[in-house]
Amino acid sequence: MSKIQIDLGDITRLDCDAIVNAANKTLLGGGGVDGAIHRAAGHELLNECRTLGGCNTGEAKITKGYKLKAKYVIHTVGPIYSGKDSDATNLANCYKNSLDLAKKYDVHSIAFPAISTGVYHYPLEDATKIAIATVDTWLKNNSDYDMTIIYSCFDTKTYNMYKAYLKL
């Protein structure tokens, strides 16, 4: 099995150790992938999220997956696109911090949505390049650790973008 995969469809149906949620700072749910994850995981997810005290942009927090196939949900907060240099750093930190946290919890397969590219309006091509470069660097720096990456793409535009840059 390849270490890096692309999946077209709903992240909540994936059978992996952890799925990543593109959350907002409150961690109390929202629209897009956040809403889908909360609906699929059930209300217990929100109860646990209430105990976390929110999350800053670029950081990540972990909960159980409840009704999901995934054991864990890693909640990370992407930048709201503003065009500043800090956007790229914050977006890269989402991927890096999610992976660091995943490793701490012995996660060996993790699915990422295209963080910030929905209502947070990060340009898709730039966001895809940052995601792939950051994950590749992490995998290189953690080459002794077995981690499978799944890029979860909800639409064909995103799927084709990842496909082009991953050259799979």
Q: Where on the chain is the footprint of ligand ADP (CB under 6 A)?
A: 10-12, 22, 32-34, 36, 78, 113-120, 152, 154-155, 158
Nearer to ligand ADP, 106 or 121 (CB): 121
CB 100 to ligand ADP: min, Å: 19
CB 144 to ligand ADP: min, Å: 30
CB 19 to ligand ADP: min, Å: 9
The neighbouring-strand residues paired with 105 are none
Nearer to ligand ADP, 7 or 145 (CB): 7
The residues, ordered by sequence, that sit 6+ positions from 50 with a Cβ below 8 Å of its Cβ are 28
CB 101 to ligand ADP: min, Å: 18
Nearer to ligand ADP, 58 or 118 (CB): 118
Nearer to ligand ADP, 86 or 141 (CB): 86
Strands 60-64 vs 4-8: parallel, antiparallel or unpaired:
unpaired
Q: How many helices (H) and strands (E) does the chain have?
A: 5, 6
CB 3 to ligand ADP: min, Å: 20
Q: How far apart are CA 51 and CA 154, in angstroms?
A: 29
The residues, ordered by sequence, that sit 6+ positions from 81 with a Cβ below 8 Å of its Cβ are 87, 116, 120, 121, 122, 123
The residues, ordered by sequence, that sit 6+ positions from 106 with a Cβ below 8 Å of its Cβ are 17
The identity of residue 61, as a single letter, is K
The identity of residue 162, as a single letter, is Y
Nearer to ligand ADP, 43 or 157 (CB): 157
